[in-house]
Each structure stands twice: as C-alpha cells, then as structure tokens.
Copies of this chain bind each other. A is one copy, B any other.
C-alpha cells in the first residue's frame, strides 16, 4: 500500500491532481453537517467536475456509531458505488475514522482519501490507518487498520477553528516532538499562541505528521513500536474519563498535554528522564493549557481507570515512557506508588 500525504494550502489543486491520477468510476464525499456547510464549498469546483455525490452524517462523536456507519454503506450502495469508486472523507477525526471504516468494508474495501479539517485530525486521526466507530459505550471498539490512499493536509481549515481546538491538536504535535528530537521539541516550546497565523503551522505540521508516519510504517498493526504513540495517553485517557464522570468533559489534546506531564514525571522516576526538560515542558503546559484539577481523593479512581486501559492485559498499568527525548520505552509497568508519586508531583508542577 503506498500512501500519498500531501502538505499544501493549495488544497483544491492538490485534490484535482490526485483525482486525475486515480482510476475510479464514481466519486463520493463524506462530510458531517458542519463540514458540509463550512468546508466542502472550498472544494466545490473540483468536486462538481467529478459529479461527486455527497453523503452527510450528523456532527459529533456521539454519531460515530453503527447507525451512521450503516447510513454510509446504504448511501454508497444506493448510489451505485462499486469497488472502483472512491470516497473522500472531509472532516475531523470522527469523519475520517468512520468514513475510513465504511470504505474499508464496503464490498470488502474501496479506496478512500482523507482531508482532515481540524489540527487534531491532521496530526493524528487522518494518518496511520486506524479506522473505526464507537460501540457498546466504548470508543473505537470496532474498526480496521487500513490506510487512506491519500491524505491532504493543509492549514486552511484551521482559520475557522477556535484556539482551544488548535491547542488540542498542538498537544499531539508536542508528543511527536518528544518521540523525535530536541530540535523539534524546542521549536514547539517556542510557539506563541498569542501571535501566530495558521500558515506558521504548516511546516511544523509536516514535521510532526512525518514522525507518526515513520512509526506507523514500522508497525502498522500496533504489535509493538507503535505503542510509542501512546505517550501521555494512559494518564490522558484516565483524565478524560474522570472529566466525563464529573460531567465536565475536556478536549482530548488537553488531556494528553496534562497526561504527558504525569508520564514525563514517571519517566524521570523510573527511567531517569532529564528533569530540566520535564520542568520546561510542564511550564509550557501550565502557561498554555492551564491545569486539570485533581486531589488525592481522585487517585483511586484514576488508578482504576488506568488498570482498565486498552493497553492493559491483566489489570497492570501500562505506559509508553521516555529514557530521553527520542528514546522511547514501551510496555513499562508502573506500581501504584510510582503513579501516586507522579500525580503528587504533577500537582506541584501545575501549582494545584
């Protein structure tokens, strides 16, 4: 499977070029109700030229479900899609995950493109081949690994994003930089959210997505190395779930940014990760993301959540940690005492 990832702000031209190189008999475009109104028109000319058929699903993670999946399958079938048809997923992670799964399973698989419209989906969901839907109350409970034929990544859609969504995506870029090298990491820590335009992000975005692409290429089905990408996520997911239980959900990227503070503390305690870098990172997070408030009364719930994480096989707490920037160690098991100590230090670093 060869995948084209194109970084450009000439998205219309890039799409026209990609379509001219593909052999397909019908074009379909999946959007949610938001992207249908705000983003799809930007591709109007190209899509119109190819008589693209639009399929729309309701916006929001709640609708990343089996009913929406069945709707996409039906619309493809009823509009005469064959194995030689092409589906373009135009939207955030919800649209690219669900559309990718629908395409991967319709007639046992038709090709699809992803055009992410949020920073988080550009840097995370759109690349790497994870597709799926929520099911039975669990996120991404069913799906397949299957890469988009092409991904067009641009910063154009970011102009209309609230700053919280930009910061949410930026957290995954921070993660990728920690998996790569100090120079990338330092560039991101120097980023100024108060004085930037989305165009500034395109180069950083390309560098970041390539980190993920290189890791996925070595381990597409998450047998080992790919778990590196879970840095910050064992704690991050626990924070997200706790926030849900409090009925005050937090953006995924924020949870990851805070989760990485805790996991860098763990990396320091268990693997001697440099404390200076830890402090610089924690300061950046504190200044730009604020803090997720916890007390020691939350520890038992957080530990229980980590023990039920997808990465856990037998109730242990499983982390992807760092020996140093660019030097990951997957499948680290931490004790309850280590985790509690890390949460204590997280609270100090976040001044709570």
Q: Which residues of A contact B (CB under 8 A)?
A: 25, 66, 70, 73-74, 77-78, 82, 84, 101, 104-109, 130-132, 135-136, 138, 140-145, 221-222, 310, 313-314
Known: A25-B313, A73-B135. Is A109-B144 also a contact (CB below 8 A)?
A: yes
17 contacts between A and B (CB under 8 A): A25-B313, A25-B314, A66-B66, A66-B70, A73-B135, A73-B141, A74-B135, A77-B136, A78-B136, A82-B313, A101-B105, A104-B144, A105-B142, A105-B143, A108-B140, A109-B221, A144-B144
Known: A77-B138, A313-B82. A144 touches B70 (CB 8 A): no
In the complex the two chains form, is A108's CB within 8 Å of B310's CB? no
A142 touches B106 (CB 8 A): yes
Cβ B25 vs Cβ A107 within 8 A: no
Determine which residue in A77, A141, A142 has the highest number of CB atoms from chain B within 10 A of its CB, and name it: A142
With beta carbons under 8 angstroms apart, the residue of B84, B105, B140, B310 that contacts A144 is B105
| B-chain residues with CB within 8 Å of residue A66 when the two chains form the complex | 66, 70
Using A74-B136, A136-B77 as known contacts, say yes or no to A141 and B107 having CB atoms under 8 A apart: yes
> A280: shortest Cβ distance to chain B, in Å?
36
Please pick, from B109, B132, B314, the residue contacting A108 in the complex, using a CB distance under 8 A: B132
Contacts A77-B135, A313-B25 given; does A108 touch B145 at CB 8 Å = yes
| CB proximity of A304 to chain B, nearest CB, Å | 16
Query: A20 → chain B, closest Cβ, in Å?
Result: 20
A313 and B109 form a contact (CB under 8 A):
no
The chain B residue with its CB closest to the CB of A223 is: B83
The residues of B that contact A108 with a CB separation of less than 8 Å are 130-132, 140, 142-145, 221-222
- The answer to whether A313 and B106 touch across the interface, beta carbons within 8 angstroms, is no
Query: Quick one: closest B residue to A25, CB to CB?
Result: B313
- In the complex, A107→B140 CA distance in Å? 7
Please report the C-alpha to C-alpha distance between residue A108 and residue B101 in the assembled complex, in whole angstroms.
Answer: 10
Chain B CB within 10 A, most for which of A135, A138, A310, A314: A135
A-B CB proximity, top 6 nearest: A105-B142, A108-B143, A77-B136, A74-B136, A108-B145, A73-B142
CA distance A68 to B47 in the complex (A): 37
Residues of B within 8 A of A313 (CB): 25, 82, 84
Alpha-carbon distance A66/B25, docked complex (angstroms): 27
Q: Which residues of B contact A70 (CB under 8 A)?
A: 66, 135
Give Cα A108 to B131, complex, Å. 8
Please give the distance in Å from A232's CB to the nearest CB on chain B: 21
Bound-state CA distance A25–B73 (Å) is: 33
- Min Cβ gap A224→B in Å is 13
In the complex, which residue of chain B has the Cβ closest to the Cβ of A135? B73
Contact B77 A145 (CB under 8 A): no
Residues of chain B lying within 8 A (CB to CB) of residue A141: 73, 77, 106-107
Q: Whole-angstrom distance between the alpha carbons of A87 and B73 in the complex?
A: 26
Q: How far is the CA of A313 from the CA of B74 in the complex (A)?
A: 19
